[in-house]
Every structure is written in C-alpha cells, then in structure tokens.
Amino acid sequence: MEHSLALYVYKIRKYYNDKYYKNNDPAHGLPHIDEVYANAVQILKESRYKECDPSLVALSVYLHDIFTNIDRLNHHTLVKEYVRNREDEFLKVLSDRDIRYVEYAVLEHRSSIVTPPSSLYSEVLRLADTGAPILERLLRRMWAYHYNDDMSDMDVAKLVLHHAYSKFGSCGYAYDDSIYKEYYRDDIDKFILQLDGLDEVGVIGICKGVV
Ligand SMILES: [Fe+2]
Ligand SMILES: [Fe+2]
C-alpha cells in the first residue's frame, strides 16, 4: 500500500468512529479501539511479527468491534462478513490475500474463542485486544462493560469480579490461548495473586477511583 501510515490510521480511525464507534457502548468505543491500536503497535516491535504489514494490522484493529452495538455476542462474525464483502472503500482496494488476513483477524479476535489464531495478524489483534494483565486497566474496562444505571455499585462489582476470575483467575480462559500466556508470562503470576486478594469493595475502589 502506498500511503503514510499515520495518514492512513487518521482516515480509518475517523471513518469507523463516525460510522460506528461513536454509537457504541463505553466498553467498545473509540478509547478502547485506540488502546488496542497502541497495544498492537507495541506488539509489532517483536521480531516474530516483523513480516506483518502495519496498515493491515491498523485496519483490523479499527474494524474489529464496529458491530458490538448491533449484536455483542456475534459481532466478530458480522464484521467478518463485512470484510469479506468489501463493504467500504478501505476494503475494496485490498488484494484477496490481504482481505483474508483482515477477515480472519477480526473473526478470531475474541479471547473466548478457543481455536488458535490462523495468521500472525490474528495473533496480533487477539493479543492487543485482550491487552496486558494490568489490574486497574482490565477491571475498569470490565466495569464499563457491565455497568448499568439500574444496578448498584455492589452488583456491578460482583459481575466484574466474576468476569475477572473466569477470564484471568488461575484457571482463566485467557490462558487457554497459549500465545497470550507466553507473551505475558512474566506478568501473569503476579496478576493472579493481585486478583485473588480482591473483593467487591476493592473493585469499586479501583473502578470508581476511591482508592
Ligand atoms: Fe470484540
Ligand atoms: Fe475489542
């Protein structure tokens, strides 16, 4: 692709935000997508990913959650079809091979999906979307995901704790992904210990900035 990466990212970020992310829930709005992109930029510095085209990674990142407000459970399959059908100007210009990379990266981005990533692009997006195991960051994102005006803080905290344990506790499904487990191997044990010491009041403190 012949373009400056920064200009390309500027254009896709604006396009998908104006059309999709500005209407999404707080857990899947532009701040989340920008964070995933920042994670992906870091991950691309690893020699394992040196073959990846950064503009295809950026496109996968800015596409991956566009349909969460339509169907949160199936948003990955909806966006796969969107890519496959080349539904916008950024997709129309891609080669068949590049379309397949983006198509499967968005399909496979969810850490609850047990199949291994089918390409390096899928690996990068899944790693970047799950993100580093940093307690405050992950809890705040889960708070945004579960928050509902009709619920008490204690009830939201219960859901957040349950989500955090099932995903990142000692038997968490995030670690079924061997690439995630390997990539963050130096941080995971400490993270599990932090999580073990947490209760609902601690979650509220972290997520609402009380402590
Ligand atoms: Fe997603
Ligand atoms: Fe995401």
How many angstroms does the Cα of residue 125 sit away from the middle of ligand 2? 9
Gap between the Cα atoms of 37 and 57, Å rounded: 8
Regarding whether 112 and 72 lie in a shared domain, the answer is yes
Regarding whether 143 and 41 lie in a shared domain, the answer is no
Report which bound ligand comes closest to the CA of 72.
1
Regarding whether 108 and 199 lie in a shared domain, the answer is no
How many angstroms does the Cα of residue 36 sit away from the middle of ligand 2? 7
Q: Contact 57/33 with Cβ under 8 angstroms? A: no
Any alpha helices (H) in the chain, and if so which ranges?
5-19, 30-43, 54-63, 75-84, 89-92, 96-107, 120-130, 135-146, 153-168, 178-183, 185-196, 200-207
Residues in the chain: 211
CATH number at residue 24: 1.10.3210.10
Regarding whether 57 and 145 lie in a shared domain, the answer is no
- Give the confidence band of 45 by pLDDT, cuts at 50, 70, 90: very high
Cα distances (angstroms) measured from residue 121 to each of 59, 164, 211: 11, 26, 38
How many angstroms does the Cα of residue 65 sit away from the middle of ligand 2? 5
pLDDT above 90 (res 202) = yes
How many angstroms does the Cα of residue 201 sit away from the middle of ligand 2? 27
Q: Which residue has the tokens 């590049």?
A: 98
Q: Contact 203/185 with Cβ under 8 angstroms? A: no
- Give the confidence band of 112 by pLDDT, cuts at 50, 70, 90: confident
How many angstroms does the Cα of residue 126 sit away from the middle of ligand 2? 9
Regarding whether 182 and 123 lie in a shared domain, the answer is no
Q: What is the pLDDT of residues 124-133, one digit of tens each?
A: 999 999 999 9
Residue 210: the pLDDT is: 58
Report which bound ligand comes closest to the CA of 109.
1
How many angstroms does the Cα of residue 167 sit away from the middle of ligand 2? 15
pLDDT above 70 (res 47) = yes
How many angstroms does the Cα of residue 210 sit away from the middle of ligand 2? 27
Cα distances (angstroms) measured from residue 175 to each of 74, 83, 116: 22, 28, 12
Regarding whether 38 and 105 lie in a shared domain, the answer is yes
Average pLDDT on 74-91 reads 97
How many angstroms does the Cα of residue 78 sit away from the middle of ligand 1? 11
pLDDT above 60 (res 2) = no
How many angstroms does the Cα of residue 41 sit away from the middle of ligand 2? 15
Last residue within a domain, chosen from 130, 145, 164: 130
Regarding whether 171 and 118 lie in a shared domain, the answer is no
Q: Which of 164, 188, 28 is nearest to 109 (CA)?
A: 28
- Give the confidence band of 3 by pLDDT, cuts at 50, 70, 90: low
Regarding whether 139 and 62 lie in a shared domain, the answer is no
Q: Which of 126, 146, 122 is nearest to 200 (CA)?
A: 146
Residue 83: the pLDDT is: 98
pLDDT above 50 (res 211) = no
Residue 14: the pLDDT is: 98
Last residue within a domain, chosen from 74, 95, 130: 130
Regarding whether 102 and 46 lie in a shared domain, the answer is yes
pLDDT above 70 (res 8) = yes
How many angstroms does the Cα of residue 37 sit away from the middle of ligand 2? 10
Q: What is the mean pLDDT of the chain?
A: 93
How many angstroms does the Cα of residue 65 sit away from the middle of ligand 1? 5
pLDDT above 60 (res 93) = yes
Residue 25: the pLDDT is: 87
Residue 116: the pLDDT is: 86
Q: What is the pLDDT of residues 158-182, one digit of tens each?
A: 999 999 999 999 999 888 888 999 9
Residue 177: the pLDDT is: 85
Regarding whether 93 and 73 lie in a shared domain, the answer is yes
Domain count, the chain: 2
Regarding whether 197 and 170 lie in a shared domain, the answer is yes
Task: Please report, as a single letter, which amino acid is at residue 132.
Answer: A
Average pLDDT on 66-88 reads 96
How many angstroms does the Cα of residue 160 sit away from the middle of ligand 2? 17
Q: Which of 145, 135, 113 is nearest to 126 (CA)?
A: 113
The pTM for the full model equals 0.89
Regarding whether 88 and 27 lie in a shared domain, the answer is yes
Range of the domain at 199: 135-208
Last residue within a domain, chosen from 88, 105, 130: 130
Average pLDDT on 62-66 reads 98
